[in-house]
Amino acid sequence: IGALEKNGLVYTIQDEFEKDGRTIQFKRACLTDAGRETGLELDGAVMLPDVVGAKSANKSTKRSGKAKKPSATTSPADPEAVETLKAWRLQQAKSEGVKAFRVFGNKTLEAIAATKPATKDELLNVPGIGPAKLEAYGDGILEALRG
């Protein structure tokens, strides 16, 4: 799947389902237009385990043809800002009753700390932040950065 994804023939999206009271997370592979043109078919379902920290081209919804965000971490992350964001993330995770990495991963927090966005538009340019995360956490992140 990884090779097909790298060659632009498929993309993956994060998905989940409930079974016996547990949430099972997995990645769903979908054909791109280029993949369909080759005659490639994805028959049946193959569940790939969701590995924390695994890289995926698309983690939210179908976005075939949409360019990836450029890497925003051109400067090193401010250690104080990273710690502030981790504290904010922990508080947010506790209030939601989820693990901290479910709110944001460390790489995303480091990218935020490195770019120090001042607006929601700037925050949306940080890798790991899409419209849903921006809506859910944008104000909280910006407030935490302002101190």
* pLDDT at residue 108, as a whole number: 92
Model pTM? 0.51
Q: What is the pLDDT of residue 53?
A: 47
Q: Are residues 93 and 133 in the same domain?
A: yes
Amino acid at 112: I
Q: How far apart are CA 88 and CA 108, in angstroms?
A: 13
Per-residue pLDDT of the chain (147 residues; tens, 9 = 90+): 788 888 888 888 887 888 888 888 888 888 788 877 887 776 655 555 554 444 544 545 555 555 544 444 456 888 999 999 999 999 999 999 999 999 999 999 999 999 999 999 999 999 889 999 999 999 999 999 998
Number of domains in the chain: 2
Would you state the pLDDT for residue 137?
A: 96
Residue 27's domain comprises: 2-49
Q: Are residues 43 and 85 in the same domain?
A: no
| Structure confidence at residue 48 (pLDDT) | 53
Query: What's 103's domain CATH number?
Result: 1.10.150.80
Is residue 33 located within the same domain as residue 89?
no
- Phi, psi angles (nearest 5°) of residue 99: -70, 150
- Kindly state whether residue 88 falls inside one of the protein's structural domains: yes
Give the H/E segment covering residue 101: helix 100-103
Asked whether residue 110 is assigned to any structural domain, the reply reads: yes
Tell me if 33 is assigned to some domain.
yes
In a domain, 67, yes or no: no
- What the block records as the tokens of 7 is 């060659």
Domain assignment of residue 73, yes or no: no
Q: Residue 61 falls within a domain, yes or no? A: no
